[in-house]
Structure 1
Amino acid sequence: MNQPNIQPKITPIYQTSVFKFEDLDAVQRYFDEPGSRYLYSRNGNPNSDELAEAVSHWEGGAGAVATGSGMAAIFAALLTYCQAGDHVLCAADIYGGSAALLNLELSRLGISVSYVPFEDLYDLAAYVRPTTKLLLCETMSNPLLRVVDLRAAAAECHRHGIKLVVDNTFATPVLTRPLALGADMVLHSVTKYLAGHSDVTAGAVVAGTAEDAARLRQIGTVFGLTLSPMESWLSVRGLKTLRLRVAAHSHNAQQIAEFLEVHPAVEAVYYPGLPTHPQHALAVVQGHGLFSGMMSIRLADDAAVVNRFMQRSQRFPFAPSLAGVDSSCSHPLYTSHRALTDAQRAELGITVGLVRLSVGIEPVEELLADLAQALD
């Protein structure tokens, strides 16, 4: 029977672990002509490649890999540049999982780390060693939403001959494209805004050069970091509404931040869209007028107060992740930054009263009403 000429508008899900070959000559062509066909889904799959290409296009990169999680993305990025005996600089304001990877696991591989306070990111002379390979930072820090001047950070890194690796999860390429500002590599927890619906666990790393992209692909294949076809397909579907969703997240978050800034139960609001934010002017330029849907607020340093807020809120359930279309709240001290030392948390101001809000795209009037009753 003749096969119909099928031309789907949407890429099908290639839910297969292995691909067939006609004979030995076909296998040889696979190795002689990279990219000519597929062999095994750990090495590459049409769905994971589609996602990698889409994220690379968003970020203006030379190539990318899709990984099984955001943590796998961080791991792949670091191993692209580092080996045993090397030294890594990391912004002190960083996701707790990144710190745990550096402190607990990469140290066992002989890669050491030093943490750089936010105010020193543009003057690294006191921190750089002969073995330093890179600086890892976030466009907007987790959880205090400090905004890094990526152009200045890149210039300082390159002055010392080291690479700049940027976690762009909070900002997304809708707001900021770090490679265009001088970064060497950018990564995402695709789980968050890129996929956007809290139903995927995935990551992506984008390289600024073809050489780094090839090294990324090698690491992804050898370490088995490749994302599954189904998760890749869902992530690509989410990416198609990224621009619309980020605009809606930002619109809602701006109104909520302004409301919370004057609420008597809230001691502080950390949101770059507020004129009172220390890096507001930078955020306006670097974020093209949008400020993401992420913010943190400081309530009284009393677990009972925080518990009452979480128990009363109906639209911001306590869920230790972020950036879905549905709003949620999280608690850095108890969840995302639990792996930090007491001294690190104290230095950053991560106390029991700090609550992180992930503002969704629901009608903002409903979110404001819920926060008002939860805080009263």
Structure 2
Amino acid sequence: MEIIPKITPIYQTSVFKFEDLNELELYFGEPGSRYLYSRNGNPNSDELAEAVNRLEGGAGAIATGSGMAAIFAALLACCQAGDHVLCAADIYGGSSSLLNNELSRMGIAVTYVPFEQLYDLKQFVQPTTRLLLAETMSNPLLRVADLRRLATECHQLGLKLVVDNTFATPMLTKPLTLGVDIVLHSVTKYIAGHSDVTAGAVVAADPETAARLKQIGVLYGLTLSPMESWLAMRGLKTLHLRMPAHSHNALAIAEFLQEQPGVRAVYYPGLPDHPQHALAKEQGHGLFGGMMSVLLADDAAVVNRFMQRSQRFPFAPSLAGVDSSLSYPLGTSHRYLTPEQQADLGITVGLVRLSVGIEPVEELLADLQQALR
């Protein structure tokens, strides 16, 4: 009796069997015809990569063991020793640490570009500059990059544009359709969506870069495990339902927080007074995501009291799960920036980042109200 499962099974195996030498030659002669070893490819990791690739409209993708592995693969696909990259100053702290501490050891140099100068890159470009790394929505202050304009600027200067689309997801923005060359995700966040997976994905706009990503994934051992791939794939199936819910709750909370006397500022693209509100509305097709940052008093005691009182926003240094949480950029994601860099980016003692989940919004509002009281 033939068994045909509706859902792809978990292929929890490190290796696949061959009948004889003819099958071995078929594997090397017709790539993709079968599997050999899970580092080279596994049905579960391939299914996830193909699903993210389809959502982003790419020419090919790989699934990686984490979001950091995805950033690493994207940069290596374009760079080698002696090259130079540009990076938006408003960037996830792990991205800057990777560039500063590790890729510098491989002979890849970096220059950081302030947000206000992202569309005037000529002054930063060197003969060896290969790309610009940026985020659709910056972490943690939710500044929104005009990706079409940024892609035009990069391509006029002969650079590739690599974009981290984790905060937005393809449900809000599809960077490749706006001219971006490589898009990446921490799948750990919204794509998997349930705070139970560590994974990443990288999608290329052209087949050559997609093939290079595949080679890097195999040779550096970045491949995602079967179980994590299966869990992420299960989470991805509800992404189109979850993102509107995250966005709906976050907008209601941002509007509420703006009126609270203990809150000095709210950084959320859905608010009309956000500097890139119009761009965010167009680029996100009317959705603004579930991430925001709020500025309390620059007093650690005040921040601690807020964290301790909140019941629905536990302090957990990650984001984008169906359950709400909060994080503290100064002490976690951007901890290793210099004090000057932190100050330039507006990352101060009172800055708290909220990841708004999909719980009943009235429960979240009531919790924030009592925590701020």
- Confirm or deny a common fold (TM above 0.5): yes
Q: Which amino acid aligns with 1:39?
A: L
Secondary structure (helix, strand or coil) at the match of 2:180 reads coil
CA RMSD of aligned residues (A): 0.4
Amino acid at match of 1:107: S
Q: Distance in 1 between matches of 2:21 and 2:117?
A: 57
Q: Does 1:294 align with 2:288?
A: no
Between the aligned residues of both structures, percent identity stands at 79
Question: Structure 1 residue 61 and structure 2 residue 65: aligned?
Answer: no
Unaligned runs of 5+ in 2: none
2:255 pairs with 1:253: no
**Distance in 2, Cα, partners of 1:119 & 1:6:** 58
1:66-81 matches, cutoff 5 A: 66-81=63-78
**In the alignment, does 2:313 pair up with 1:304?**
no
Deviation at 1:341, TM superposition (A): 1.4
Q: Which residue of 1 aligns with 2:329?
A: 332
Question: How far apart are the structure 2 equivalents of 1:341 and 1:57?
Answer: 39
Per-residue Cα deviation, 1:129-168 (whole angstroms, up to 9, x for no partner): 1100000000000000000000000000000000000000
Q: Match of 1:173, as an amino acid?
A: P
* TM-score calculated relative to the size of structure 2: 1.00
Structure 1 residue 103 displacement after superposition: 0.2
* Equivalent of residue 102 in structure 1, options 99, 106, 126: 99
User: Residues 99 and 339 of structure 1 are in contact (CA less than 8 Å); yes or no, is this contact kept in structure 2?
Assistant: no
Helix, strand or coil at the partner of 1:119: helix
Aligned residues of 1:331 and 1:356 also touching (Cα < 8 A): yes
**Per-residue CA distance 1:189-237 (angstroms, 9 max, x = gap):** 0000000000000000000001000000000000000000000000000
CA deviation after TM superposition for structure 1 residue 97, in Å: 0.1
Distance in 2 (CA, whole Å) between partners of 1:26 and 1:184 is: 36
Q: 1:123 aligns with which of 99, 120, 125?
A: 120
Aligned-pair CA distance for 1:343: 1.2
Specify the alignment match of 2:5 in structure 1.
8
Whole-angstrom CA distance in 1 between matches of 2:34 and 2:275 = 51
Report the secondary structure of 2:282's partner residue: helix
Question: Hey, what's the Cα distance between the residues in 2 that align with 1:230 and 1:26?
Answer: 27
Q: CA deviation at 1:23?
A: 0.8
Q: Residue by residue, what CA displacement relative to the aligned partner does 1:267-314 show, whole Å, maximum 9, x if unpaired?
A: 000000000100000001000000000000000000000000000000
Structure 1 residue ranges, 4+ long, deviating more than 4 angstroms after superposition: none
Amino acid at match of 2:323: D
> Are 1:134 and 2:128 an aligned pair?
no
Is the CA contact 1:146–1:272 (under 8 Å) kept in the aligned structure 2? Answer: yes
What does residue 159 of structure 2 align with? Answer: 162
* Alignment partner, residue 340 of structure 2: 343
Normalised by the length of structure 1, the TM-score is 0.99
Find the residue that maps to 2:148 and give its secondary structure.
helix
Residue deviations 1:82-127 (CA, integer Å, cap 9, x gap): 0000000000000000000000000000000000000111110100
- 1:44 shift after superposition: 0.0
Matched, 1:216 2:227: no
Write the distance in 2 (CA, Å) between the matches of 1:181 and 1:370. Answer: 39
Partner of 1:180: 177
**Using the alignment, how far apart are the partners of 2:3 and 2:76 within structure 1?**
41
Q: Which amino acid aligns with 1:85?
A: G
Find the counterpart in structure 2 of residue 52 from structure 1. 49
* Mapped pair 1:232 → 2:229: yes
Residue of structure 2 in register with 1:319 after alignment:
316
Q: Which residue does 1:146 correspond to in 2? A: 143
